[in-house]
Structure 1
Amino acid sequence: MQLHDLWFVLIAFLWTGYFFLEGFDFGIGILTGLLARDPHERGVLLATIGPVWDGNEVWMLTAVGATFAAFPDWYAAFCSGFYLPVLAVLVCLIVRGVALEYRHKREDERWRRTCDRCVFWTSLVCSALWGLIFANMVRGVPIGADGNVTGTPLDLLHPYALLGALATPCLFTLHGALFAALKTKGVVRDRARAKVRPLANLTTVVVGAFLFWTQVHNGSRIYGLIVLGVAVVALVATVEQSATHRDGRAFALSAVAVAATVAVLFLSLFPDVMPSSTDPARSLTVAGSAASPYALKVLTWVAAFMTPVVLAYQTWTYWVFRKRIG
């Protein structure tokens, strides 16, 4: 394996970590509008992610930073081609962060309702936008001879991308419900468990259809189909594990489903990093868009030192805040 292939795998790993952690984070935000029935219950749900939500977002920053350093052409095409949806994601993350941090700063019921609405809508919109962005990245965008993405934002709205924009909120909401069942107790946990079956049924259909369409579009590679099967089986198995109150196993299975979904997307993408929908010869490839070998060597040494440190720190953080909230 060459260094540029290794860095493609590392970036896929970073995005997997982001969607696994921020996935239940967004799911909890969505559930504040679907599960909680009063400000106190919404506060219990938000308390489950209170110590960790900002750390979860570091994975996105690291993934984007690694793309900028290891694949500058990919980074340029990604930011120019998806400028408006990426900008919308950043605005939502800012509003969401302010709402989470300042919700308890004022003893005003109207203020808290406003913050809760901001958390709900920004979580839902961010989830949908990530599905839209990655669906377009896998399907391909029009790329000119100069390597720049052409077209308009309306070109990003097509049936496959819209299905991706529906799949990610479904997946993250289920992931969040299982995290809520794992991290809470009392009526909130019971209600979260009750949501698992309908959410899992919907998610299995939508995510399964999205990943199958991805495979059909990219030639149905055998390893992609295997990973797709893993995702579907994991989603189905969450219902049985949650019904028998094995919350840890159910959440682990939803994590497998999230990881398998991201894996199918990146397996479908390789060896491209940004396919061209107009002329395959203009597609950005892993080898063609990578930085110089010397730069990749330096980045590899930095990653070899920093990645275990980040993993150890986040593992410790979740261990410290492992108890249930009631």
Structure 2
Amino acid sequence: MDVTLAPTALQTLWFCLIAFFFLGYFVLEGFDFGVQMNVATFWRRGAGTRGTILKTVGPVWDGNEVWLITGGALIFAAFPEWYATLFSGFYLALLALLLVLIARVCAFKWRDKADGAAWKRSWDLVHVIGGFAPALLWGIAFGNIVAGVAIDANSWTTTSLLGLLNPFALLGGLVFVLLFWLHGTLYLALKVEGRLREDANRLAGLLVWPTILAAAVFLLWFQLAHSNTAVTWISLALAAAALLAVVPLNRARRERLAFAATTTAIALATISLFAGLFPYVLPSTGDPANALTVANASSSAHSLTVMLVALAVLLPVVIAYTIWTYRVFRHRLSDEDGPAPGTELLEKAARRYREAFDQDAG
């Protein structure tokens, strides 16, 4: 076998770890995006309802972004060639994504800093964009990653921005938007009470059908045209079964199980994309010799080993923090613009931190 297609066990492990972090990001941040999309769906309910919708993810969204930050940092450290080549061709798209994510942070932090209706409407609009745009851009990006781009002998991506907007990638963007929207709607139904809960359940029942159709076309296209292994048929079939299970579960108002089903579908779809991509990290649509693989794009074995030790210490902390956060903020919200349950604990911790900081400064 070509040495560039035969990664070591350590290189393969790091590829799987990066896949794991993006799986966690898409599952957790996916429903954040979907909840923000529903600010537009329920826009006419007024600022109070929109505030309630946002409070369902208010305590957790920034923790969910840790998975992206860590995943991106691991690509940079473990596969620097992959990172550099991605940015050489995806620069404008990734810059747009970064700007949207920054604006999204501002929307979460600043929306409730003033009581004016125009102020809140403006930031609510940013929330809507902050839900739809990242989902679309991530879908387009991953569509191009698994399908491949033109790469020259210097490992520069030569595909133009318009070339990235090809039918397969655009379909990927649509699938990510629909799947995250459905995922976020089921999360919303799980986190609110009253009329908003019933409306979220009804919306999920409508969204599930176009999501199933678009996802089926995209994943079949991926499997038949771009996957490097037949094993991914198994994960694709399981992902399809999980997504189909949302239909009866939603009708029965089994909200936890329906949300678990979309969680499973997103996780299995992510596994399918990464498993189908392996042993490549970025295929070349031109000369196959220019493709980036797990073997030829990675850091040295020493670097990978040192980072693995550090990750073994830090990863349990990230997982424990995530579990603790969701346990503290597990309560449902009423359709009112009031504080979320658990906010008191968060504010108390922040207040003590400020007091300790002031004492040290003094």
Counterpart check, 1:225 vs 2:227? no
Counterpart check, 1:98 vs 2:103? no
Aligned pair partner of 1:321 in 309, 319, 329: 329
Q: Which structure has the bigger radius of gyration?
A: 2
Q: Give the corresponding residue for 1:263.
A: 271
Q: Give the corresponding residue for 2:349.
A: none
Counterpart check, 1:80 vs 2:92? no
Aligned pair partner of 1:308 in 303, 308, 316: 316
Aligned pair partner of 1:175 in 173, 177, 183: 183
Q: Give the corresponding residue for 1:34.
A: 41
Q: Give the corresponding residue for 1:280.
A: 288
Q: Distance in 2 between matches of 1:222 and 1:233?
A: 18
The equivalences for 1:200-219 within 5 A come to: 200-218=208-226
Q: Distance in 2 between matches of 1:74 and 1:211?
A: 24
Flag the 1:137–1:219 CA change in 2: closer, same or farther, 3 A: closer
Q: Give the corresponding residue for 1:68.
A: 76
Partner amino acid, structure 2, of 1:314: T
Q: 1:219 Cα deviation (Å)?
A: 5.2
Q: 1:220 Cα deviation (Å)?
A: 7.3
The equivalences for 1:84-233 within 5 A come to: 84-218=92-226, 221-233=229-241
Instruction: Give ranges in structure 1 of 5+ residues lacking alignment.
Output: none
Deviations 1:149-174 (CA, angstroms, capped at 9, x unpaired) = 11321110111011011010000000
Q: Distance in 1 between matches of 2:88 and 2:163?
A: 14
Count of aligned pairs: 326
Deviations 1:39-69 (CA, angstroms, capped at 9, x unpaired) = 1111111000000111111111100000011
Partner amino acid, structure 1, of 2:160: T
Partner amino acid, structure 1, of 2:298: A
3-state secondary structure, aligned to 1:100: helix
Counterpart check, 1:9 vs 2:19? no
3-state secondary structure, aligned to 2:151: coil
Flag the 1:247–1:219 CA change in 2: closer, same or farther, 3 A: closer
Q: Distance in 1 between matches of 2:210 and 2:286?
A: 34
Please report the RMSD computed on the Cα atoms of aligned residues, expressed in angstroms: 1.1
Partner amino acid, structure 2, of 1:23: G
When normalised by structure 1's length, the TM-score is 0.98
Contact 1:27–1:173 (Cα < 8 Å) also in 2: yes
Instruction: Give ranges in structure 2 of 5+ residues lacking alignment.
Output: 1-7, 335-362
> Once superposed, which parts of structure 1, at least 4 consecutive aligned residues long, lie more than 2 Å away?
218-222
Contact 1:35–1:191 (Cα < 8 Å) also in 2: no
Q: 1:235 Cα deviation (Å)?
A: 1.0
Flag the 1:219–1:322 CA change in 2: closer, same or farther, 3 A: closer
Counterpart check, 1:21 vs 2:28? yes
Q: Distance in 1 between matches of 2:160 and 2:19?
A: 27
Q: Distance in 1 between matches of 2:321 and 2:170?
A: 36
Q: Distance in 2 between matches of 1:78 and 1:187?
A: 45
3-state secondary structure, aligned to 1:227: helix
Q: 1:253 Cα deviation (Å)?
A: 0.7
